[in-house]
């Protein structure tokens, strides 16, 4: 696969703003482990090879177990995720593939049972952001692993 264009070079000011939004998620109220799971699940759903590759490596660097990484795609059937993580994954799926008629009150209330309103808000921004990255990476055919060295992902030991 050959990358179509380098969107960071073509639109550096917009790329920086999206990077700034991504960086703003760090240090928020949602723990890194949930961000990692959310980024992996949205990237799986969207079929974004570059982002999936990147976020699996990041999660590994952050200490995530390989078995849980394998189970993200089957999180509903897996017993490896706590209720808070399951709520975040359910919200990720709903926000990533908006259902006809919108997100149900039932799902919102289930998520609200695990996360505060501030956490749901920040989680939603995290989901919106990964979906934006997924769309750019898919549109321009960004090659998985092509930024490993630049982002320190070679430390994951998953080359």
Judged by DSSP in three states, 78 sits in coil
Domain range annotation of the chain: 13-154
pLDDT given for residue 158 in this prediction: 83
pLDDT given for residue 17 in this prediction: 97
pLDDT given for residue 157 in this prediction: 84
Second-level CATH architecture of 13-154: Up-down Bundle (1.20)
Judged by DSSP in three states, 74 sits in helix
**CA triple 55-71-33, angle to 5 deg:** 45
pLDDT given for residue 13 in this prediction: 98
- For the chain, which ranges sit under pLDDT 70? none
Spatial separation of the C-alpha atoms in residues 157 and 43, rounded to whole Å:
21
Spatial separation of the C-alpha atoms in residues 53 and 74, rounded to whole Å:
18
Question: Which pair of structure tokens corresponds to residue 2?
Answer: 């050959």
pLDDT given for residue 26 in this prediction: 85
pLDDT given for residue 130 in this prediction: 98
Question: Which pair of structure tokens corresponds to residue 139?
Answer: 């549109």
């Amino acid at each position: 696969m050959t990358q179509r264009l380098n969107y960071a070079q073509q639109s550096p000011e917009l790329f920086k703003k999206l990077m700034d939004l991504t960086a703003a998620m760090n240090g928020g109220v949602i723990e890194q482990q949930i961000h990692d799971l959310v980024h992996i699940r949205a990237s799986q759903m969207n079929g974004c090879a570059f982002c999936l590759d990147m976020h699996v490596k990041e999660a590994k660097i952050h200490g995530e177990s390989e078995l849980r990484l394998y189970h993200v795609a089957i999180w509903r059937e897996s017993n490896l995720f706590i209720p808070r993580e399951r709520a975040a994954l359910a919200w990720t799926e709903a926000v990533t593939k908006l259902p006809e008629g919108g997100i149900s009150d039932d799902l919102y209330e289930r998520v609200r049972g695990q996360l505060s309103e501030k956490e749901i808000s920040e989680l939603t921004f995290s989901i919106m952001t990964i979906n934006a990255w997924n769309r750019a990476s898919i549109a321009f055919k960004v090659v998985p692993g092509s930024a490993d060295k630049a982002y320190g992902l070679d430390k994951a030991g998953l080359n």
